[in-house]
Amino acid sequence: MSTTATTTQMPSAGYGAALWRALKSFGLLRESWVGMVGAFLVLFWVMVAILAPLIATFDPNSSIQPFAKPGMVAAKGGTFWLGTDHIGRDILSRIVWGSRTVLIYAPLATISAYTVGILMGLLAGYRRGWVDDVLSRLADIILSFPVLVLYIIIIATIGASGINIIIAITFASSPGIMRIVRGLVLDLRNRDYVAAAQTRGESDWKVMLVEILPNARGPLIVDACLRLGYVIITIGVLGFLGLGLPPPDPDWGGMVNETRQMAMAFPHMTLFPCIAISSLILGFNLLADGLREISLRD
């Protein structure tokens, strides 16, 4: 056919290439120092969660020696680097183990909220008409409730557990995600490549998921990072309100709640969990800023 027949090979398995691309886009983050700081904070907490059994010096749930100040040496050996709480549990160990709770439930809740929000947004934006009307009004109703009230109602009705936290967060934040997705879809659905897919008879879901969604990923990734931060706050708030994970499992919000009456006398009991929460949230927010900066540049 062609005179300049080059030998182009068929593509091999795509996973290696995909991994390489992901690494390369992470390399891009180096160009934004804000993003680097954020990534460092997040990675720090991820490592802490993974290495929890090695870092934690005590059992997080056993009461050893109440009201120990930071740096005190325990009677049976070992140091309470961050002190102990009113029932004598080591605060460092509880924060370290508590990072696992946060870093498991926050991403799970975010993913779940995004799945629901993206599906609703795609349907509303692509189908338009009554589907859009129904879904948008539903979202308006949910968004018109004060978020906190919504959480309290949901958790109080279905009970406090890990799964129920995920359900409550999904219910409360998917309408917001839906609105973002819907707005992006309204723009993207008029592109010629969408028309091209329609004219070759692709099904609606194929058009939505293969043609439209990948092109909405930029703003969604940035929003997901921010939202992860909010979800961590939410999990903290739920713990603080006593609606988080049932005790005695370590939970950062719960730790603040249990010790807040003694905060004036023993500030270390509330201060350290608070620092943990804010540093993780700050990490995600800075990461989001960095990603946005890079996505604007390209």
Partner 1 sequence: MNDDQAPVLICKDLSISYYTRAGEIPAVVDFSLTVLPGETIGIVGESGCGKSTVAMAIMQYMGANGGIKSGSITFKDRDLNQMSESELRRIRGSEIAMIYQEPFASLNPSLKISTQLMEVPLAHEKISTEEARQRALQMLSDVKLPDPERIMDSYPHQLSGGQQQRVVIAMGLLSNPSLLLLDEPTTALDVTVEAGIVKLVADISKKFGTSQIYISHNLGLILETCDRVFVMYSGEVVEEGTIDSLFTWPRHPYTHGLFACIPLPTADKNAAPLKPIRGQLPLPFERPQGCYYHPRCDHFKPGLCDQEHISMAHVEGSAADHRVRCLRYNEIDHHLQTPDGEVKKALELGEQVLEVDHMKKYYEVRDTSLRALISGKRVRYVKANEELNFSAREGETVAIVGESGCGKSTFAKVLMGLEKGTDGEVRHRDKDLSDIAVRDRSAKQIGSLQMVFQNPFDTLNPSHSIGGQISRVIKKFGVEKDKKKIFDRVMTLLDTVKLPRDFYFRKPRQLSGGQKQRIGIARAFAGNPSMVIADEPVSALDVSVAAAVTELLMDIQREQKTTLLFISHDLSVVRYLSDRIVVMYLGHILERGTTEQIFTPPYSPYTEALLSAVPIADPEVTKREIVLEGNLPSAMNPPKGCPFCTRCHRRIGDICDNEPPPEQVVVDRHVIKCHIPLEELKKVEPVIHVPDESERLHARH
Write out the chain in H/E/C secondary structure.
CCCCCCCCCCCCCHHHHHHHHHHHHHHHHHHCHHHHHHHHHHHHHHHHHHCHHHHCCCCCCCCCCCCCCCCEECCCCCEECCCECCCCCEHHHHHHHHHHHHHHHHHHHHHHHHHHHHHHHHHHHHHCHHHHHHHHHHHHHHHHCCHHHHHHHHHHHHCCCHHHHHHHHHHHHHHHHHHHHHHHHHHHCCCHHHHHHHHCCCCHHHHHHHHHHHHHHHHHHHHHHHHHHHHHHHHHHHHHCCCCCCCCCCCHHHHHHHHHHHCCCCHHHHHHHHHHHHHHHHHHHHHHHHHHHHHHHC
Name the segment binding partner 1 (CB under 8 A); options: 191-199, 227-235, 241-249, 253-261.
191-199
Closer Cβ to partner 1, 157 or 190, answer by number: 190
Please list every residue from 8 through 27 that binds partner 1, using CB under 8 A: 8, 10-11
Among the listed residues 134, 195, 246, 267, the single contact to partner 1 using CB under 8 A: 195
**CB 211, min distance to partner 1, A:** 6
Which residue of 22, 196, 205, 247 would you call a contact of partner 1, by CB under 8 A?
196
Q: What would the x/- binding string for partner 1 be over residues 229 to 268, using CB under 8 A?
A: ----------------------------------------
2 binds partner 1 per the rule CB under 8 A: yes
- Judged by CB under 8 A, the stretch of 73-81, 119-127, 178-186, 209-217 that binds partner 1 is 209-217
Q: Which stretch binds partner 1 (CB under 8 A): 124-132, 149-157, 168-176, 198-206?
A: 198-206
Total of chain residues touching partner 1, rule CB under 8 A: 25
- Closer to partner 1 by Cβ: residue 161 or 198: 198
277 class by beta-carbon count within 10 Å (0-12 exposed, 13-18 middle, 19+ buried): buried
Among 130, 199, 264, 296, binds partner 1 (CB under 8 A): 199
Residue range at the interface with partner 1 (CB under 8 A); choices 100-108, 175-183, 213-221, 275-283: 213-221
Q: Which of 54, 75, 192, 264 binds partner 1 (CB under 8 A)?
A: 192
Where does this chain bind partner 1 (CB under 8 A)?
A: 1-2, 4-6, 8, 10-11, 191-193, 195-203, 210-211, 214-215, 217
